[in-house]
Amino acid sequence: MAWGNPANIITTNLDSGTDSPASARANLKSALDELSAVISGRNTADGVAGLDASSKISATQLPDEINSSAATDLTLDPTTGKVKLEEILNLKPQTTAQLNARTDKATGDVAYCSDGGADSAGVGCIAVYDGADWRSIQLGNTL
């Protein structure tokens, strides 16, 4: 069932004390159908994700990918000031040329550089942008 559509709620026969109850019946029925769609749209496609007993969205309702709107960074801003990942963080590999060509670099950016830059002999490294340049952090010994 699709989420409710406010365009289907018509108040023409409901906005005056002199309106005919018989004429208002179809408008009321449409409005109740839309209310039913909203109630039934919880945890469904084209609906809304409901909250569990702990006021959390259950994992089954979360998307596998979150995309921000055009030309806008996706920001996570927890009140604790800390983002906790419980497993592995995977950074999309980029070459030195790709990192240097970015126009959105900001101090503190972290990336995985697949070719490692000049001081790592073409081996991958972690790169941190210091406000002027990407700085490489060389990878250590094999685990």
Taking only the tens place, the pLDDT of each residue in 24-60 is 898 899 889 889 988 888 888 888 888 999 999 988 8
C-alpha 115/C-alpha 134 separation (Å) is: 13
At position 116, the amino acid (one-letter code) is G
pLDDT tens digit sequence for 71-97: 888 889 999 999 999 999 999 999 999
The reported pLDDT for the residue numbered 118 is 60
Nearest to 10, CA basis, from 27, 32, 23, 26: 27
Does residue 89 share a domain with residue 55? no
C-alpha 13/C-alpha 4 separation (Å) is: 20
The percent of residues in the chain predicted with pLDDT above 90, rounded, is 41
Does residue 142 share a domain with residue 74? yes
Which of 44, 62, 80 is the endpoint of a domain?
Answer: 62
Does residue 142 share a domain with residue 112? yes
Q: What is the pTM of this model?
A: 0.64
Q: Whose structure tokens read 């996570």? A: 76
Does residue 54 share a domain with residue 19? yes
The reported pLDDT for the residue numbered 120 is 60
Does residue 142 share a domain with residue 85? yes
Does residue 127 share a domain with residue 102? yes
The reported pLDDT for the residue numbered 89 is 94
Does residue 58 share a domain with residue 80? no
Q: What spatial distance separates the first Cα and last Cα of the chain, rounded to whole Å?
A: 51
Does residue 125 share a domain with residue 76? yes
With bands split at pLDDT 50, 70 and 90, how would you rate the model's confidence at 3? Answer: confident
The contacts of residue 77 (CB under 8 Å, 6+ apart) are none
- Structural domains of the chain, count: 2
At position 139, the amino acid (one-letter code) is L
Tell me the residue range of the domain where 91 lies: 70-143
